Amino acid sequence: MTQSVRTRLSPAERREQLLDLGVRLLATRSLDELSIDLLAEEAGISRGLLYHYFGSKHDFREAVVRRAADDLIAQTAPPVDGEPEERLLVSMAAYLDYVVANYEGYLSLVKGAASGNAALRAIYEEARAALTDRIFREDAGNQILPDTPAVRLVVRGWSAMTEELVLTWKVEPNGVTREELIGILAGSLRPLVEATLLQP
Amino acid sequence: MTQSVRTRLSPAERREQLLDLGVRLLATRSLDELSIDLLAEEAGISRGLLYHYFGSKHDFREAVVRRAADDLIAQTAPPVDGEPEERLLVSMAAYLDYVVANYEGYLSLVKGAASGNAALRAIYEEARAALTDRIFREDAGNQILPDTPAVRLVVRGWSAMTEELVLTWKVEPNGVTREELIGILAGSLRPLVEATLLQP
């Protein structure tokens, strides 16, 4: 049955399906643990076929990480309607849940990007830029976030802070609840920007 | 002349002097570029003697990084007197200047700690913990910073944010001045903590 479904997929569809599987495997594993062998075993197909789809181990990992970054951006999209603060709250809740659900893979991406792996760094930076740009785009007319170099810098810093908060909380929640943390993540942006605009 | 000064130093003093030289070399170099060979050349002594002082290449690098972290903590100590906000401003100015003056070494420590090098990670975490503890200790009676798990978490996040801001600004200041950035670094802590305390 599985076989008959599989054979009806085009090569492009099959590749997408394998990428999805790679992302799922990455949720509970580091990038170093994500191998062609593992994917072959989980997908029930040959290593040779996987090399046909992905070229090399590095290309495969890069493709999986790129897909994971796209998933993160899609899943944290704020709702279309609602007050700005409420929409940011929904987006940050999705971010928190994404990082918690994909902790091992996310952490290994952060580490890989920081350690100077150029391909991972590029994907990480692109994703961060997309998330930051969206923050500015979502603020119609830039009423809350004037688009100045200082505010751009601070939004980037806020982004690094939210990542640190979620990764630390995942390991040591110390009694801080999910709701409290989401409130901190979303509620910190506006005061930070206001404090920035107070600078002469 | 140098030789006669050198011979009057005790082995412990000589080791300290070599560590200082190592920290100076690290200011404009990454950890990977900091070698026993380089130190031997700069200090004008044999590699064998350096191995005698430091044991191994790894022990040498670890000792230099530990010394650099101690320097950072010492140099960013806030003044004893003054209003809390003013003292934080002085401390953050020192932090900014330290990172800018020691950019290559600092960046390689951040990368090394993030990439999972256990020894570097430990030194980095110890330094961050020391800086965070000092923030709470400096706030007499915890008037601005109630010592709760949520505030502890947020101060850690703020610390990650300040690091991101300074490292990004060093590469792309985009017209943001040193004074403006120092104001942002110091002025962001209180609003962040206040926003945290607003969470139910």
Nearest neighbour of A149 by CB, restricted to B111, B175, B190: B175
Q: How far apart are the C-alpha atoms of A41 and A18, rounded to whole Å? A: 12
For residue A8, pLDDT beyond 70? yes
pLDDT at A22 over 70: yes
How far is it, in rounded angstroms, from Cα B138 to Cα B91? 11
Q: Cα separations (Å) of A26 from A48, A85, A166, B115?
A: 21, 32, 18, 17
Residue A197 pLDDT > 50, yes or no? yes
Q: Please name the amino acid found at residue B33.
A: E
Determine the CATH number of domain A78-197: 1.10.357
Write the single-letter amino acid at A177.
T
Residue B93 clears pLDDT 60, i.e. is over it: yes
Please state, for a pLDDT cut of 90, what percent of chain B lies above it: 68
B77 in reach of chain A (CB within 8 A): no
**Following DSSP, what letter does each residue of A45-104 receive, concatenated?**
S-HHHHHHHHSSHHHHHHHHHHHHHHHHHHHTPPPSSS-HHHHHHHHHHHHHHHHHHTHH
- Check A150 against B176: CB less than 8 A apart: yes
Across the interface, whether the CB atoms of B149 and A110 are under 8 A apart is answered no
Average pLDDT over residues A99-107: 92
User: Does residue B159 surpass a pLDDT of 80?
Assistant: yes
User: Do residues A100 and A53 lie in contact, with contact meaning Cβ atoms separated by under 8 Å?
Assistant: no
Is any Cβ of chain B less than 8 angstroms from the Cβ of A150?
A: yes
pLDDT at A6: 53
Measured between CB atoms, does A194 come within 8 Å of chain B?
yes
Average pLDDT of chain B, as a whole number = 90
Q: Is the pLDDT of residue B3 over 90?
A: no
Domain with CATH 1.10.357 in chain A: 78-197
Q: Report which listed range, A119-128, A191-200, B166-175, is most confident.
A: B166-175
Asked if residue A188 has pLDDT above 50, the reply is yes
**From the candidate CATH numbers 1.10.357, 1.10.12, 2.40.50, 3.30.300, the one assigned to the domain spanning B76-197:** 1.10.357
Residue B1 has pLDDT above 50, yes or no: no
The CA distance from B147 to B155, in Å, is 10
Positive or negative torsion for Cα A86, A89, A95, A99: negative
Nearest alpha carbon to residue B28 among B108, B96, B94, B114: B108
Q: SS3 for B2?
A: helix
Instruction: Tell whether A188 lies on the interface with B, counting CB pairs under 8 A.
Output: yes
CB-based contact A105:A27 (threshold 8 Å): yes
**CA–CA separation, B4 and B6 (whole Å):** 5
Report the residue from B161, B176, B199 with minimal CB separation from A184. B199
Q: Cβ–Cβ of A114/B115 closer than 8 Å?
A: yes
CA distance A142 to B145: 31
Identify the band that residue A170 occupies on the pLDDT scale cut at 50, 70 and 90.
Answer: very high
Asked if B125 reaches chain A (Cβ–Cβ under 8 Å), the answer is no
Taking only residues 20 to 39 of chain A, the set having a beta carbon closer than 8 angstroms to any beta carbon of chain B reads none
Query: Does the B2-60 domain belong in CATH 1.10.10.60?
Result: yes
Range(s) of chain A covered by CATH 1.10.10.60: 2-60
Mean pLDDT, rounded, for B60-66: 92
pLDDT digits (tens, 9 = 90+) for A114-167: 877 888 899 999 999 999 999 999 887 788 899 999 999 999 999 999 999 999
- A118 and chain B in contact, CB less than 8 A: no
Instruction: Tell me the two tokens of residue A128.
Output: 């961060």
CB neighbours of B66 closer than 8 A, spacing ≥ 6?
A: B123
Return the residue matching tokens 């007197």. Answer: B81
Domain with CATH 1.10.357 in chain B: 76-197
Q: B141: Cβ–Cβ under 8 A, 6 or more apart, which residues? A: none
Residue A11 to residues A18, A43, A68, A173, B184, Cα–Cα distance (Å): 10, 15, 20, 44, 52
User: Binning pLDDT at 50, 70 and 90, where does residue A95 land?
Assistant: very high
Residue type, A134: R
Which whole-number Å values give the CA distances from A30 to A100, A105, A109, A186, A191, in the listed order?
A: 14, 5, 8, 28, 35
Out of B176, B181, B188, closest to residue A195 by CB? B188
In this prediction the ipTM stands at: 0.89
